[in-house]
Amino acid sequence: MSAGRKVDMKARLGAVLPPTLLLAVLIALWAWLSDRGSIPSYLLPSPARILSAVVANASVLWRHGVVTTSEAIGGFVLGGLAGLIASITLASSRCLRDSFFPLALVSQAIPIAAVTPLIVLLIGRGGPAILTIVAISSFFPMLINMTRGLRAADVDYHELLHCLAASRLQRLRMVELPGALPYFFAALKIGAASSFITAMVGEWIGSNVGLGYLVVISGQYFKIPTLWAAILVSSALTLLLVAIVAASERLAMPWAPADEPS
């Protein structure tokens, strides 16, 4: 047991150490180039200046960050739920699936962010419009993945439950939903990675508050460290959300192999 854990620790260290070292080298290189003046500071300030901008603008970043986070998380949850319900509806009828699923597939080729101006025209500027855009952008991946996932369960299980006279709801709960879990989390990961950036881009043309608005307005006033501070905060929030999804995936499906690069 202890030997196994030792090997496990070693493997973990081997997975974590190289990227951390590379990241440290990249940041050191960036700091060095900035100090030498090789990178113009109006384009990319030194890491130290961006960090001090985060500290100096903490209250502003907090105020805008809360708005963007609520839009991103709210849209992510609403869109995911709507996609889940829609996929269960589609999975229940072949006719519905044949009619709507091809259109959902085609929607993958539609740049959802480009639809933002239409939503802003329809709903008006502000939070609800941004929330709607984020919801749409996480709705379709969930719908597509879950429509596939709900049919992924082994047909033998269906036959077994049929023999046991299980109801439709029991089949959904015991066979189809557990079988669809990998697809569910794949969709969640897509939605988590895109929700903050979708909200920020939406705020560019559809809101007067939020991290996306802060990025644009700092750019217009040439407050470049503030601009990068907002980008840093939004990246951290995105990574946090993705990490939460990945952690809940491991909790929900302990039998699945960890998604690590080898």
Partner 1 sequence: MRLSSVLGPTVVFLGALAIWEAATSYGWVDGLVLPSPLAVVSLFAADPGLLASNAGVTAAEAMSGLFIGNCLGLLLAILFVNSPTSRRSVLPLAMGAQSIPIVAVTPALIIGFGNGMEPKILIAAFLVFFPMLVNAMRGLRSADAEVGELMHTLSANGFQRLWMIRLPAALPFIFTALKFSACSCFVAAIVAEWVASDRGLGHLIVLASSQYRADEVWAAVLICTASSMAMVGLVVAIERRAMPWLRSSGRSLA
* Chain positions contacting partner 1, by CB under 8 A: 14-15, 18-19, 21-23, 40, 42-44, 95, 98-100, 102-103, 105-106, 108-115, 117-118, 120-122, 144, 148, 193, 196-197, 200-201, 204-205, 211-212, 215-216, 218-220, 222, 224, 227-228, 230-231, 234-235, 238-239, 242, 261
Matching residue, tokens 């008006």: 124
CB of 160 vs partner 1, minimal distance in Å: 28
CB of 261 vs partner 1, minimal distance in Å: 4
Q: DSSP letters along 55-115, please?
A: HHTHHHHHHHHHHHHHHHHHHHHHHHHHHHHHHHHHHH-HHHHHHHHHHHHHHTTS-GGGG
- Letter string b/e over residues 5-37, b meaning 16 or more CB atoms within 10 A of that residue's CB: eeeeeeeeeeeeeeeeeeeeeeeeebeeebeee
| CA neighbor of 196 nearest in space, from 247, 245, 148 | 245
CB of 98 vs partner 1, minimal distance in Å: 4
Residue (51 or 166) nearer to partner 1, CB: 51
Residue (156 or 260) nearer to partner 1, CB: 260
CB of 211 vs partner 1, minimal distance in Å: 8
What's the token pair of residue 112? 């959802």
Residue (40 or 252) nearer to partner 1, CB: 40
Residue (78 or 231) nearer to partner 1, CB: 231
